[in-house]
Structure 1
């Protein structure tokens, strides 16, 4: 009896040891996966223990990792081709559009009837819309295909926004969109002045095009510099906040005509300066908030 008990104890000890080794191998696999994720390496997972089932599991994991890597590379290639396509399209469209606008200007200088001038004005309006779309294409393609030199410095965000709004007063008046802006104490951020200016201009253009009433602009300071554009919108339930900053997303027909690139550009620029952009619907009000690091 003592002999059998001794054999059972030995078997139990061996099994416990084997289980311990299996656990060590599983822990090793987990650590290898974690290192792969953190270091962005393509090294395969390996085990030292001769176990048919464990080896088969490792083989399957490596196959999945390889398939995922192939998908990632394919996605990167498709993204690169898409960026190049946007750049080529925007460049190819500019030349004929310039010619069209040139001929329109020549026609304006000629003798035209009142009806012809009305029709020419409609054509000029559509060509200007097309020019805006192409400019957005070109800017978006530039931001995607280049690594712009970001010149960070201490910027008076309040003053910059004030200047941009004053420069755009005509746009607000022509669109009959009242502006509400109260200049407060200066808020200083660490950012690129040109990029911030482009952000503000795009937000102004977006609000003028899509607002259904008064446009409210605020510059605040918390742990970050905050710029907010708030305006009523038509059919807010049709706007997908989660997709608002996606390229080419259009929540309404007007945004669709402009290609839905303006807010995508805002997002790209803000993130390049370690900032962020969010949007929120409150009733019939759309709030777009840009945050930027405060200047030290």
Structure 2
């Protein structure tokens, strides 16, 4: 009887080892194929339901998920770079062509009045190129996680007023009336001062391009966030695709013939706000375009 029992146990052990070795060979073969053939959502599996083996497969599947996530991030970054290069090429062409054309006119004319006019246009185009270069530089640093963040307690209302008023002449020129809250809002927020100024500048520049005659700044503090909202009426005939305003290279003009806009301002602003642990959204109400930004409040 004992002989039969030992024989049965020996046969069971041999079968166990046989199936275990077979599954390990299959896993080894599949693991070698992962770098070249693994698709999104691919998983390893075993037919032999042994606890230790299943734990090993679970660990391997977690590694595969991490590998595929890295692949997705790499492909997304690749696509972002491709879009950036395409957008950069398109947007730089217009001001460069303008500069080249007016330089030719400058050389060809002896009229001092026209020379001053041409130089003013060239200066404007150069400033535009510098602004675009700054935005593309910011974009590259954000999307490669190279932009450092230094969070501190800041007065949002002070920075907003200071930045808006630095564009006072442009608002006057375009006859856009600015309206600030009657009472100061001193609620401090947690943000990066450099990033915050860039966000406000982008919002102002967007407003100068698309506002019709009026812009309103509001603040709504609560225990966790300070809501900063900026609204402006839009020009008659303007068509704003509200669901696309935060997309890369989106401009109101679908043909992107607007030489004043690269379509990166609000895209960058949203990225910067999120880097500072805030939220940014946009909506339309009647004929008004409204941007709403939530900044974390500094609790003293």
The alignment status of 1:241 with 2:242, answered yes or no, reads yes
Structure 1 gap segments, 5+ residues each: 1-40, 51-61
TM score, norm. by length of structure 2: 0.64
Tell me the residue number matched to 1:30: none
Deviation of the 1:236 alpha carbon: 7.4
Displacement, 1:273?
0.7
Aligned to 1:259: 262
* Residue equivalent to 1:225: 226
TM-score by length of 1: 0.65
- Answer yes or no: is the 8 Å Cα contact 2:234–2:289 preserved in 1: yes
The equivalent residue for 2:159 is 160
Deviation at 1:238, TM superposition (A): 2.5
User: Cα distance, 1:174 vs. partner?
Assistant: 2.2
Q: RMSD value over aligned CA atoms?
A: 3.8
Q: Which among 279, 282, 296 is matched to residue 279 of structure 1?
A: 282
SS of the residue corresponding to residue 212 of structure 2 reads coil
Whether 2:222 is the aligned partner of 1:198: answer no
Q: In 1, distance between residues paired with 2:168 and 2:225?
A: 28
Aligned in 2, Cα 1:164/1:123: closer, same or farther, shift over 3 Å? closer
Q: Structure 1's 155 and 133: CA in aligned 2 closer, same or farther, altered over 3 A? A: same
Alignment of 1:97-246 (within 5 A): 112-182=111-181, 183-222=183-222, 223-234=224-235, 238-246=239-247
Match of 1:291 among 289, 294, 299: 294
Q: Which moved more, 1:142-151 or 1:126-135?
A: 126-135
Distance 1:86 1:227, change over 3 A: farther
Contact 1:179/1:214 (<8 A) preserved: yes
Deviations 1:178-217 (A, max 9, x none): 1111242312111111111111111111111110111111
Structure 1 residue 231: Cα displacement? 0.3
Greater helix content: 1
Number of matched pairs: 233
Task: Give unpaired runs (5+ residues) of structure 2.
Answer: 1-39, 50-60
Task: Tell me how far apart the structure 2 counterparts of residues 229 and 116 of structure 1 sit (CA, whole Å).
Answer: 39
Residue 166 to residue 88, structure 1, CA distance change in 2 (3 Å): closer
In structure 2, the residue corresponding to 1:149 is in which secondary structure? Answer: coil
Structure 1 residues 254 and 180, CA gap change in structure 2 (3 angstroms):
farther
